[in-house]
Amino acid sequence: MDFLKNLGIENSNPGTSTGQNFLGEDHSEEIMSQTPIDGSEIASVTITSRAEYDEVVEKAQDAFKEWRMVPAPERGEIVRQIGLELRAHKEDLGKLVSYEMGKIYQEGLGEVQEMIDICDFAVGLSRQLYGKTMQSERPKHRMYEQWHPLGICGIISAFNFPVAVYSWNAMIAAVCGDVMIWKGSEKTPLCGVAVQKIIAKVLKRNGISEGVFNLITGGREVGEWMAEDERIPLISATGSIRMGKEVAKTVGARLGKTILELGGNNAIIISEHSDLEMAIRATVFGSVGTCGQRCTSTRRLIVHESVFDELKERLVKLYDGINIGNPLDEDTLVGPMIDEDAVDNMNAALKEVQEAGGELVYGGETVDKAGLEGGHYVKPAIVIAQNDYEIVQEETFAPILYLIKYSDLDEAIAMHNGVKQGLSSSMFTLNMREAETFLSSRGSDCGIANINVGTSGAEIGGAFGGEKETGGGRESGSDAWKAYMRRQTNTINWGDEMPLAQGIEFDV
């Protein structure tokens, strides 16, 4: 396992909870990371104790006092160097993502590439944190707005994107002048340690305080400390809708800020005017990629009745040829699910949809792979269903694709929007009127809406996130940076009179 060694994860315990040689007093609890490939143990990581947590927060507070005074383009220079360090570790980190999370190596590499790309984006952004200048209604007055950093940005992330989601937040927040406290998923703790070690090298080389990027480890309880903590003005949380509702309530009660990136129930509408070849390629990647464990995975396929049967048959054929197995093998397209619970959830959903009247047309079985007995392999499933089945209304984080028939576009859009989530959406059509309807205000109600592009796999240049129970947060590109800063409106009187706004006369 050279990649573990190259990332500094050599022994049975790869380090401490911060990955920065932070030694707390209470290391009684540990998380043992296991690969979903065959269930074998990789290494253990200590869980951050409450006392360590408080120390980390204090360290971050101190670091913020210095970091906010570093000019933004110089902060960008640090992020540029992090991007270079990630390039140097791309293969090793990509492999670790694949080994610890179970996505195929190509997708592991893609995740690290996203980290590199967001670094580049953030470097440019560091010279473009623009505020507006406004025309004052008073003579000899100048009015403008500027953006200041918030302080500590608390980042809680999910298992399925164990490194990229952190960087979408952290690299943007870093050029904005914030400092980070990151709690990754307890299911992928080593990815966090590896990223922390990569960043720590750059900080050390440049004499920047370690407290700018902090890592803590643990599960729900550690996340709850962050949500409750008034010292953390912003919590960016990625994960399930259940988690998002809890975090929103806790942070809201102290009037803190949140960026919530929660579950999706993403659909593709396939029209009778679509290029079926393209639609099928996008559907297969969207539904089976990452073994259905992406927030943007395609869960529902809303298909025009005239192409429904043909599409179903072609999908079944393609699904049957998919290579399921070790995600580190080059010819594997679908790796394992993260754990036994995930397989149980998939089985329960398949049972429920069939009880509701759905027809399982392909897959759903667990797959035993010789030599990988401790892994969690399943055959992706295709089910003919109705949109209003309770289970179809939910996000099951597994490779289940529901096929739903429609006859006219209004009906298709109503079904498409007729779920509580609103993350990613797509329509395949070559008909301009249909495409524009789907993108219009009476079309898709999601944060991401595509034409002839699937639901899965967004580019970092756009703002990423969704509406309704997906949480409303936006991360990554466009002007998502504004959520990591506070806006200040400034008015300067450079005259020798004291006129009041709104024309008020107040003689004293």
Of residues 288, 294, 304, 236, the one with CA closest to residue 265: 294
Instruction: Output 85 or 475, the one with its CB closest to ligand NAD.
Output: 475
Give the shortest CB-408-to-ligand NAD separation in angstroms.
30
Residue 185 as a binder of ligand NAD (CB under 6 A): the answer is: yes
Residue 161 as a binder of ligand NAD (CB under 6 A): the answer is: yes
Residue 264 as a binder of ligand NAD (CB under 6 A): the answer is: yes
In sequence order, which residues have a C-beta less than 8 Å from that of residue 449 and are 6 or more positions away?
425, 426, 427, 438, 439, 443
Residue 420 as a binder of ligand NAD (CB under 6 A): the answer is: no
Residue 53 as a binder of ligand NAD (CB under 6 A): the answer is: no
Instruction: Output 108 or 264, the one with its CB closest to ligand NAD.
Output: 264
- Give dist(CA 463, CA 440) in Å, integer: 18
Contact present, 169 and 74 (Cβ < 8 Å): no
Residue 160 as a binder of ligand NAD (CB under 6 A): the answer is: yes
Write the DSSP assignment of 264-278 as a string of letters.
--EEEEE-TTS-HHH
Contact present, 188 and 203 (Cβ < 8 Å): no
Residue 158 as a binder of ligand NAD (CB under 6 A): the answer is: yes
- Give dist(CA 440, CA 409) in Å, integer: 13
**Site residues (CB under 6 A) for ligand NAD, limited to 196-235:** 219-220, 223-224, 227
- Give dist(CA 29, CA 342) in Å, integer: 24
Question: Strands (DSSP E) along 89-221, which ranges?
Answer: 133-134, 141-149, 152-156, 179-183, 213-216
Active-site annotation holder among 52, 107, 210, 261 = 261
- Give dist(CA 119, CA 20) in Å, integer: 21
Instruction: Output 337 or 382, the one with its CB closest to ligand NAD.
Output: 337
- Give dist(CA 213, CA 165) in Å, integer: 15
Write the DSSP assignment of 366-383 as a string of letters.
EE--TT-TTS-EE--EEE
Q: Is 114 a catalytic residue?
A: no
The one among 262, 270, 288, 333 contacting ligand NAD by CB under 6 A = 262
Residue 325 as a binder of ligand NAD (CB under 6 A): the answer is: no
CA 175 to chain centre: 19
Residue 352 as a binder of ligand NAD (CB under 6 A): the answer is: no
The one among 24, 108, 149, 263 contacting ligand NAD by CB under 6 A = 263
Amino acid at residue number 25: E
Give the shortest CB-397-to-ligand NAD separation in angstroms.
5
Residue 168 as a binder of ligand NAD (CB under 6 A): the answer is: no
Residue 418 as a binder of ligand NAD (CB under 6 A): the answer is: no
* Residue 351, CA distances (Å) to 301, 344, 389, 395 in order: 19, 11, 12, 15
Which pair of tokens denotes residue 299? 């869960």
The one among 64, 67, 362, 397 contacting ligand NAD by CB under 6 A = 397
Instruction: Output 37 or 101, the one with its CB closest to ligand NAD.
Output: 101
Closest-by-Cβ residue to ligand NAD is 223
Catalytic residue set: 261
Contacts with ligand NAD by CB under 6 A lie at 156-161, 165, 183, 185-186, 219-220, 223-224, 227, 238-240, 243, 246-247, 261-264, 295, 395, 397, 423, 470
